[in-house]
Amino acid sequence: MSDPNSPNRFNEEKAAFAVRGEGNAPDLAAGVAAIRNVLKTLPIRPGVYRMQDARGDVLYVGKARALKNRVTNYTQVDRLPKRLQRMVAQTRSMTIVTTNNEAEALLLEAQLIKRFRPAYNVLLRDDKSFPFILLRADHDFPRVQKHRGARRAKGNYYGPFASAGSVNNTLNALQKLFLLRSCTDGFFKTRDRPCLLYQIKRCSAPCVDRISREDYAELVGDAKDFLGGKSTKVQTKLGAQMSAAADNMDFELAAVLRDRLKALTFIQGTQAINAEGVGDADVFALACKDGTMGIQAFFIRGGQNWGHRSFFPAHTTDVPEDEVLTQFLTQFYEEVPPARTILLDRELEEGALLSEALAERNGYKVALSVPQRGDRRRLMEQAKRNAVEALDRRLAESTTQAKLLREVADLFDLSEPPDRIEVYDNSHIQGTNALGAMVVAGPEGFRKGQYRKWNIKGNEAATDSDVGMMREVFRRRFARQLEEAPDRDAGTWPDLVLIDGGKPQLNAARTVLEELGVEDICLVGVAKGAFHGREGREVFHLLNGQERMLPQNSPVLFYLQRLRDEVHRFAIGAHRDKRAKAIGASPLDEVPGIGPARKKALLMHFGTARSVRGASLEDLQKAPGVSAAVAQQVYDFYHSR
């Protein structure tokens, strides 16, 4: 934490209170004793507390207006729900951090939940960054582009969009409508003629002066008006310009303007949600059924629908709906900037506190409200209906998925349905740019945030050997897993491992695991059968030497094929990216102290990296942009070996 005298940061008063219980089994009395020991020195101040088990793993993160009063409640176990009683039974220590006020505690709580992902907190599963549209302001001819992550570049950000698909569709339409460039600055500098985007009327080609700086600035202004919600103004302006061009018999210009109007109409036509008059707002509605909760989110900016997404928070059993929605919003807005208006389908007990915390973090007022009438009420009804429908689909999919996993367990003689399935594959071209890939699946589907890839170093065998690659991947994966979770009680240990390959790959993986002392993981090799090309049948090789095949129309076969296809897709995509980077590599990259500019200068002067390597010191010094010291460095690198 920061300086305690700073008025704008948390006042750090950390104390780790460690009271360890005897034994490893959860013990309610030991948990209550640990909490009471902390209470002896706990202040009556706002702050955040962390419950930790005997290993120090975080069980729960909570915030309080008065820490002593809040933590005292955990010692009154008869009043706690079963979920919290289990948590108290596992608690052996606590960590306390005090803050200046409750709003700061709420923000810190969200940060710590995201960092530790405790087992007893409501968790936002899908918290990956949302895409934005960035209209840059650091160039005479600003570029429009998709953007994720930290907003460091100078310019105007518009979003969030619900998905990459929605932002891509909007970008494509924006290019047709405003003809703004999307190329990088490096590409822009090197052009001496228009690119294909100009030919298909999706760019005005400022790189080769097909448009003046003033006219391009006017297009940028129109784009800002449109993204700011003034689409009617832009439509009126384009209509007037088209009519004027037609009156002046300039039918070519009129046709261009007509196409731009069509692009504007397309964007307006894709607004499946009527949000006129709403302005900027984030809309959230919660649905609950059979103990599962789903939250539907609409993103409205300037009266335009920028997409919607369904969320299904984890660990919501026995948690009140009000608390689930509050926890969801604090975690959701950890990185996503909120709209100035947040519309909810219910009043929140801590709504005022959440509004204060969001305003403190973002520097502008954020209002939470429950719409009662008009356009906002109709929009909320649509969000509630979508939340219920999305939850129904989720429950139906979960039922089907649970049945599939039970059948997978029966197929491979597992004691219970697998919670974590890992699938492995390798990708290379005659041993070059080789890498191994792993995808992860579970009851909720693919866990893309846990996918992994490994650059093959060739330590186990020749890099063109699939068996050697698989051996190396398994050694690196499970040796590290043993270091990080030797007790094997972490959720990152697989219940089932599928290997794309036959008996050789399967035996290689088994040998590595046996050497590491891991002998109780179910390994299965997935190989093409004799009828693969004609019928799509796979053979599943088991460790006991048995081979199993499934009927051609088996749902379990289709499910396992989807897992195999997903690891193929991930491995091939990663390999393609690695190969693309290798194509742009140069032997000069190995020379220390040679950056892109000097590398380009040397290649422009000598033609090839081989010529640079064979050049004399005098010739190197003659290259433009290369100092005597750099020339000596390059010469020594190649001639002192």
d(CA 347, CA 343): 10
> At a CB cut-off of 8 Å and minimum separation 6, what does 93 contact?
16, 17, 18, 19, 20, 34, 52, 56
Query: At the fourth CATH level, which superfamily is domain 281-393?
Result: UvrC, RNAse H endonuclease domain (3.30.420.340)
pLDDT at 102: 92
User: pLDDT tens for residues 76-113?
Assistant: 988 888 889 999 999 999 999 999 999 999 999 999 99
pLDDT at 276: 59
Is the pLDDT at 294 greater than 50? The verdict is yes
Q: Which two tokens stand for residue 620?
A: 């190197």
User: pLDDT tens for residues 477-520?
Assistant: 888 888 877 766 666 789 999 998 888 889 999 999 888 888 88
Residues above pLDDT 90, as percent of the chain: 27
Residue 196 gets which letter from DSSP?
Answer: H
> CATH 3.30.420.340 residue ranges in the chain?
281-393, 421-581
Task: Determine the distance from the C-alpha atom of residue 491 to the mean position of all C-alpha atoms in its chain, rounded to a whole number.
Answer: 20
Q: Which of the four pLDDT bands, split at 50, 70 and 90, describes residue 50?
A: very high
State the average pLDDT over residues 51-78.
Answer: 92
d(CA 516, CA 499): 18
Is the pLDDT at 621 greater than 80? The verdict is no
| 8 Å CB contact between 366 and 340 | yes
175 sits in which H/E element: helix 164-178
| 8 Å CB contact between 124 and 332 | yes
Q: Which of 138-142, 400-404, 589-593, 636-640 has the lowest mean pLDDT?
A: 589-593
| Nearest-5° Cα angle at 521, 515 to 525 | 95
Is the pLDDT at 458 greater than 80? The verdict is no
> CATH 1.10.150.20 residue ranges in the chain?
587-639
> At a CB cut-off of 8 Å and minimum separation 6, what does 256 contact?
201
d(CA 625, CA 15): 57
Amino acid at 161: F
Q: Which of the four pLDDT bands, split at 50, 70 and 90, describes residue 172?
A: confident
Can you name the CATH fold of 421-581? Nucleotidyltransferase; domain 5 (3.30.420)
> CATH 3.40.1440.10 residue ranges in the chain?
15-116
Can you name the CATH fold of 15-116? GIY-YIG endonuclease (3.40.1440)
State the average pLDDT over residues 566-595.
Answer: 70
Instruction: For the chain, give percent helix, strand, coil, nearest 5.
Output: 45, 20, 35
d(CA 161, CA 282): 11
**CATH classification of 587-639 is 3.40.50.450, yes or no?**
no
Nearest alpha carbon to residue 282 among 256, 301, 262: 301
Positive or negative torsion for Cα 93, 95, 96, 102: negative
> At a CB cut-off of 8 Å and minimum separation 6, what does 177 contact?
223, 226, 260, 263, 264, 267
